Chains A and B, each alone.
Chain A
């Protein structure tokens, strides 16, 4: 008997009496604090930073955020950067990137998370090999909590997707919090309406 047949057969034999699957509410009661304010507090708590996009080109903003950066690699046409992102090249070639730039699909107020998929990254490793990451987010695309986030059903068809909340971090030695564990050292969220969104 194959391991598969054996395991499934023994599970069917051992399964306790069936219990029902409860419906999951979204727990989205009205909150007096506006979404954006909650989102910003969430990002800051998890070690990230939120800035509003100024008028004018975003490249200048990124230079001012990271004046020391030599290699800026952008996955969004809204920012030119200094090097092109080529999904046909091996992802390890992004090891020298100082600042990666990407546009998030949406944000989550409860946790200060942004949702990014392979489509937004172009090369998913950009979000982890870059020393720093700048994420553009349309402030109109913030949902209240994780229940609502997981109702964005189509997003979860992506081959790869991640809720990113602040920079990479560790507290594995004596509980001392370090930002910049293995992935990005800093995360800056730039609130900027999507180019194709109404009102811009």
Chain B
């Protein structure tokens, strides 16, 4: 399988100046709003510690909590299915739909169904699938995956949405007013809610003690998707289970604050049992999660509550866009999850990071994201998954850095080089580093030369 070249893909994103500037600004704005919320709560850091501990406890007792969740969900009247991988998941969904004579599915946003590539699977088998979240719908109509796990179309400007809507749902191509576009989607989507035979959601949390599926949204689309059709299917990654209702207090207080900088989502919905005359199916999905649970360095990534805070704060993500990662999960959390799906395909993603640690410091469940990114780089190098250019550069750098004598010679040569070499050497097409950067003027002396001259006790 072809390796995803994040840096190559992001060069396209960077070329669209207006998009790049807006993307960077919009996501940084979310980060600042998150900061305002967290600074407003004196217990914020304590909540992070609690959230992390609750998740760690649950993951280290995961089998018991999943069994408890299953037992309670069944007692509530739901049917529980288990899926080892995407193919099993998609087939289960199709079987449920067919058994219930459902041809139209209205669905709320679910990264898991994106991960399973469920939509194309169902569509080629005659099921009409309607994404009802505005951002996800824009991406569906434009035949693109979501570029961000919370705001799926954040890389698009209003003009792009106007173009997509004009082509696909018949809006006025000359009207890119945001209110007009959102209202058009509302009017276009509503008839689907009224006639669909089935509704689908993911889950933010699955509560073991009650068998409840909790979904946090803003648009009202999840509640319409469940409360109108007679069939509700909820797809849930096995890591989403939490022990008790009281634990929701911790996570609900942090989720939207971390994601959007709002104290809570407009709707926090608790689906425990089907309403009279309706049916509820829950699918518990592995798809690589269980394998990740057994990885000593990487299992804490399963604590993730998918808030996207690490993406919003990441300078690489903000300036390269989610689509350039070529994976369902992008940004810092993506680069530590994606290699577990396919090491070779995603082996360059852990290099899409400055290792500044900002992701780790905003993570509401205290995942050591930047340390895991560094760990992945080691794993990838050990398993010979580095491209030749990087391998050779690392080998050379390793030699130089291991020997004080070589290092000194190299530093002095580089200093001399920067001031005397023609620009062509540094800013040529072979040197990716030189493409968007200017090298600062070289100092007159290296640190060592300076130290020897002014501070060395031997002098």
Contacts and interface: CB of A to CB of B under 8 A. Distances in A.
Say whether A associates with B.
yes
Contacts of B210: 156-157
A160 B294 contact: no
Contacts of B56: 19
B53 A182 contact: no
Given A14-B293, A20-B57, A147-B246, A3 B272 contact: no
A38 to B, nearest CB: 11
B194 A92 contact: yes
Contacts of A32: none
Given A124-B223, A128-B227, A17 B60 contact: yes
Given A118-B275, A156-B210, A170 B182 contact: yes
B132 A182 contact: yes
Contact of B252 (A11, A47, A146, A160): A146
A92 B240 CA distance: 31
Contact of B186 (A111, A149, A182): A182
Given A11-B238, A159-B76, A91 B249 contact: no
Contact of B138 (A19, A158, A172): A172
B236 interface: no
A196 B208 CA distance: 35
Interface in B310-328: none
Interface in B231-271: 238, 243, 245-250, 252-253, 260, 262-271
A113 interface: yes
Interface residues of B, number: 90
A16 B181 contact: no
Contacts of B132: 182
Nearest to A9: B63
A24 B246 contact: yes
Given A146-B252, A159-B274, A165-B267, A173 B134 contact: yes
Contacts of B178: 173-174, 176, 178
B63 A8 contact: yes
Contact of A160 (B138, B264, B270): B270
A45 B263 contact: yes
A89 B271 CA distance: 21
A24 to B, nearest CB: 5
B249 A150 contact: yes
Nearest to B268: A163
A200 interface: no
Contact of A163 (B134, B193, B267): B267
B73 to A, nearest CB: 12
Among A8, A42, A111, A129, the one with the most B-chain Cβ atoms within 10 Å of its Cβ is A8
A139 interface: no
Interface string A147-168: 1111101001111111111111
A64 interface: no
Interface residues of A, number: 74
Interface stretch (B113-121, B213-221, B410-418): B213-221
Given A16-B60, A160-B272, A178-B178, A146 B195 contact: no
B133 interface: yes
B293 A156 contact: no
Given A10-B290, A157-B272, A182-B220, A172 B133 contact: yes
A175 B43 contact: no
B221 A182 contact: yes
Nearest to A45: B263
Contact of A11 (B29, B66, B275): B66
A46 B66 contact: no
B448 interface: no
A160 to B, nearest CB: 6
Given A7-B238, A181-B134, A91 B228 contact: yes
Contacts of A162: 223, 267-270
Contact of B272 (A2, A149, A159, A178): A159
Nearest to B270: A161
Interface in B8-53: 22, 26, 29, 43, 50, 53
B304 interface: no
A109 to B, nearest CB: 11
A119 B249 CA distance: 23
B151 interface: yes
A173 B82 contact: no
A18 B275 CA distance: 37
B63 A11 contact: yes
Among B220, B272, B290, B294, the one with the most A-chain Cβ atoms within 10 Å of its Cβ is B220
Contacts of A21: 53-54, 57, 243
A83 interface: no
Nearest to B247: A24
A183 B154 CA distance: 22
B212 interface: yes
Question: When A and B form their complex, which 6 residue pairs have the shortest distance between CB atoms, in order from nearest?
Answer: A183-B220, A14-B294, A168-B220, A172-B135, A181-B219, A159-B273
